[in-house]
Chain A
Amino acid sequence: MTEKTERIITCIVCPMGCEATVSMEGKKVVKVEGLTCSRGEEYVINEVEAPMRDFFSTVIIEGGVSPVCPVRSTRPIPKDRIMDCSRKLARLRVTAPVRIGETIMRDILGLGVDIIATRSVGVLGEKGRQ
């Protein structure tokens, strides 16, 4: 018998902030109550069954005009893999120059998502802006 549980989730799709009571059997949602629209239902179900998050952080740059470069995931990743991704990127050293949009790490942790640079970083000492 799969475990029956209930959770309260606040929907964040619009400022209404409806509170949904979600009934679950094991990891699957069986009932959602308290919402007022269908967008909310989609969000709540995903949030409970497979919460995803945009991942964003920085990576260390060598030889660049900045010591770090901001990066992001091309698509959301599972919420519970955020710290794994952060630790994976912590060991990376990227050499300048970096172009905005450039892939920094392909298919991070086998999640099917790339990590790309969100700004350009020029080489230290070279003239002209990146």
Chain B
Amino acid sequence: MNEMTEDVAVVGGGAAGLAAATRAKETGAERVLVLDRNSELGGILPQCVHTGFGLHHFKENLTGPEYITRFVDRARALGVESKLDTMVLRLRPGGEIVAANSPDGLFKIKAKSIVLAMGCRERTRGALGIPGERPAGVFTAGTAQRLMDIEGFMPGKRVVVLGSGDVGLIVARRFAVEGAKVEAVVEILPYPGGLARNIIQCLEDFDIPLLLSHTVTAVHGAERVSGVSVAGVDEKGNPIAGTERTIPCDTLVLSVGLIPENELSEEAGIVLDPLTGGPVVDQHMETSVPGIFACGNAVHVHDLVDHVTETGMTAGSSAAKFARGELETLRNRVRMRPGSGVRYVVPQIISGDRPVTVYLRVRNPVRNATIRAGDIAFPLRAARPAETVTLEFTERRIEKLIGKAELEVGMEEQKPVD
């Protein structure tokens, strides 16, 4: 098998991978190769035609394609190499990559450092176990979006969306703007999963009903979807008898969860965090295998691409330094663990001797809360599970961590003032 050598190999050419590759080049790496399974770089961004990208990173309000074009162009200008229509098949425990494409066939890559940026995949109907028939017309939101906004088709005319996270809301809006009828967005929780701005701009703007505390209990249709049954649910999410009704439609779009893609990470023996679905990383974005770094949605599902870019840049510069043998070891390794009210914390390991930005997700919507990391307090005016909270561990705050091996990061809600 043909073998290639690189300084930094990046698996995945989306927002995370391109941020890592460009940063690796900017911080002195010589041979940087990005591998991507699509026929163009950009990952999921080219199909995200809406605005809202880059508000932090560029201080501009860009669409997905505009945002990522800047990184694609920069990567090209810096001499980042890329192989497209290329699938990474294996990541061996020693770090050897096996990949395949048409021109090269099967080939190996030996890289001094690797950045994993595979992104995430969508939870499927099958994984949820939604009963019923198996007609054509059931799509996950990202696939429907690709069919519409990359391939130029209409996947459906009369749509029900299951899941009110941002992805589902955004795709509901796309269907509406393209002239389809979106009958309802169905949400199992008693509150919407996505941002308030998206509830307003994707649902209210288009008079799309939001059915909270409801779920899809069956799919109907022998050949193409003819309708879905929906029912109210109790606090445990179980359907309430007698509340079932059928909504006629020809398309069911599922926005029921994103799962970080880590088949390769698992194969390489990288330690994963069951709370995020992605690798445990330290503040260099290094995984448990020295020289293998991870960033973007492969580490945890982000809501802002600007954060993805940040983690990508960190991983890229760490990978470049590692390739030169210059990545400084963290003097301490403080393991952060989520406490009450917190779902997860990334990076999971910080050094406690220099500033770091830590990302966190809360379990439930809160107002007037305080995040406590040991003795450090972070006031939090408001937070929702859909929005990552960023904690800036500044020099001053970091001092309090010296000597700690573990740190619980939990939340206290303040009693509302009457």
Contact = CB atoms under 8 A, between A and B. Distances in A.
A and B interact physically: yes
A66 B69 CA distance: 16
Nearest to B150: A66
Contact of A67 (B152, B177, B196): B152
A125 interface: no
A53 B201 contact: yes
Contact of B367 (A16, A70, A100, A119): A16
Interface string A3-18: 0000000101011110
Contacts of B243: none
B30 interface: no
A70 B179 contact: no
* Interface bracket on A: 20 to 34
Given A16-B381, A54-B51, A86 B178 contact: yes
B87 interface: no
Contacts of A68: 149-152
A53 B179 CA distance: 18
B266 interface: no
Interface stretch (A27-35, A55-63, A102-110): A55-63
Majority secondary structure of chain B interface residues (helix, strand, loop or mixed): mixed
B205 A15 contact: no
21 contacts: A12-B197, A15-B381, A15-B384, A17-B382, A53-B201, A54-B51, A58-B148, A68-B152, A70-B49, A70-B63, A71-B49, A72-B49, A72-B51, A82-B177, A82-B205, A86-B178, A100-B69, A118-B62, A118-B63, A118-B66, A119-B65
Nearest to B61: A54
Contacts of A120: 69
B382 A56 contact: no
A12 B149 contact: no
A15 B387 contact: yes
A1 interface: no
A90 B387 CA distance: 34
A79 interface: yes
Interface string B341-380: 0000000000000000000000000010000000000000
A119 B69 contact: yes
Interface string B146-190: 001111100000000000000000000000011100000000000
Interface residues of B, number: 31
B50 interface: yes
Contacts of A118: 49, 62-63, 65-66, 69
Contacts of A16: 367, 381-382
A120 B68 CA distance: 12
Interface in B67-107: 69
Contacts of A14: 381-382
Given A14-B382, A15-B387, A60 B50 contact: no
A29 to B, nearest CB: 17
Contacts of B51: 54, 56, 72
Contacts of A119: 46, 65-66, 69
Closest 7 CB pairs of A and B: A67-B152, A119-B65, A70-B49, A68-B152, A12-B197, A15-B382, A54-B51
B136 interface: no
Interface in B292-339: none
Nearest to A59: B152
B152 A58 contact: yes
Interface string B30-73: 00000000000000001001110000000001111110010000
Contact of A58 (B149, B201, B384): B149
B151 A67 contact: yes
B195 interface: yes
A70 B68 CA distance: 13
A27 B57 CA distance: 37
A119 B61 CA distance: 15
Contacts of B240: none
B222 interface: no
Interface in A38-58: 53-54, 56-58
A27 to B, nearest CB: 18
Given A60-B152, A90-B179, A118-B65, 5 more contacts: A66-B152, A70-B149, A71-B49, A79-B205, A83-B177
Contacts of A58: 49, 148-149, 152
A52 to B, nearest CB: 11
Contacts of B387: 15
Nearest to B42: A119
Contacts of A100: 65-66, 69
B130 interface: no
